Amino acid sequence: MSSRPPVHRARKRFGQNFLRDPGIISRIVRAIAPRPGQRLVEIGPGQGALTAPLLEAAGALDVIELDRDLVPGLRVQFFNYPEFSVHEGDALKFDFAELKGDGPSLRVVGNLPYNISTPLIFHLLAQRGAVADMHFMLQKEVVERLAAEPGSADWGRLSIMAQYHCQVDSLFIVPPEAFIPRPKVDSAIVRLVPHETLPAQAIDEVLFADIVREAFSQRRKTLRNNLKGRVSAEALESLGIDPARRPQTLTVAEMVSIANHLAGVRT
């Protein structure tokens, strides 16, 4: 049980849009399916719309909130939950591995501001060993990129890096009228579950990330052009990859094979 949150005006610089639709909130919580004993972490709890049902289901919750004006209200609102902890700060700089410690892997959830969603996902992927799963509300276009398939217009660096590390599932759309203030775009819920065993293992993951970035540096150009100076057309052909292909046609496994070839050459 929680008290009524104080009135707070959404701040544009924090990209705040507060979720208000009870039906959408219930649907998100059902998708997350929190249970007692799990270690849940909510990024950007705002005024606690999702926080309240998560706490009721799990009994414990860590939240990370950047807007210091919201923090006192959250502490008052959920004062009767001894296992409720507020971490005031920037999720982009937060050490999730330290929060996990020797405990269970973290279940990370959040209604992410559009302006930080992609860098925050990369930040979490870098600490995936501490994470059991992630459920995020994001701009619909970002979810479409995360869950895209090779050859589609949405397939790109974000798709490959996310799917290299995680099983990605787009769950459902959230319309603008579910928020106050209304955003100008649709949102969507996505689930990311780190692979227990990677479908394709990069020998050097830093090199792999570099190759993916370079391959997509100019989407309209071919691999031969984008990876010029990195890998020869002959080497690509030896891997069964046509150097005239564009990067958005390559699978995760094919990108890994290029990086592993270069890792072998370098060593």
214 in any annotated domain: yes
Whether 243 is in a domain gets the answer: yes
Choosing from 164, 194, 224, the residue where a domain stops is 194
Using an 8 Å Cβ cutoff, are 162 and 154 in contact? no
Place of tokens 């929190």: 34
Q: How far is 160 from 134, CA to CA, in rounded Å? A: 17
Cα gap 17→46, rounded to integer Å: 9
Residue 2 located in a structural domain: no
| Number of domains forming the structure of the chain | 2
Q: Is 5 part of a structural domain of the chain?
A: no
Question: For residues 174 and 109, what is the distance between their CA atoms, to the nearest angstrom?
Answer: 15
CATH number of the domain that 95 lies in? 3.40.50.150
- Give the domain extent around 216: 205-266
Question: Quick one: 175 and 87 in the same domain?
Answer: yes
In a domain, 58, yes or no: yes
- 267 residues of the chain, pLDDT tens digit each: 444 444 444 444 444 577 888 999 999 999 999 999 999 999 999 888 899 999 999 999 999 999 898 999 999 999 999 999 999 999 999 999 999 999 999 999 998 887 889 999 999 999 999 999 999 999 999 999 999 999 999 999 999 999 999 999 999 999 889 888 787 889 999 999 999 999 999 999 999 999 999 999 988 899 999 999 899 999 999 999 999 999 999 999 999 999 999 998 765
> Do 190 and 215 fall within a single domain?
no
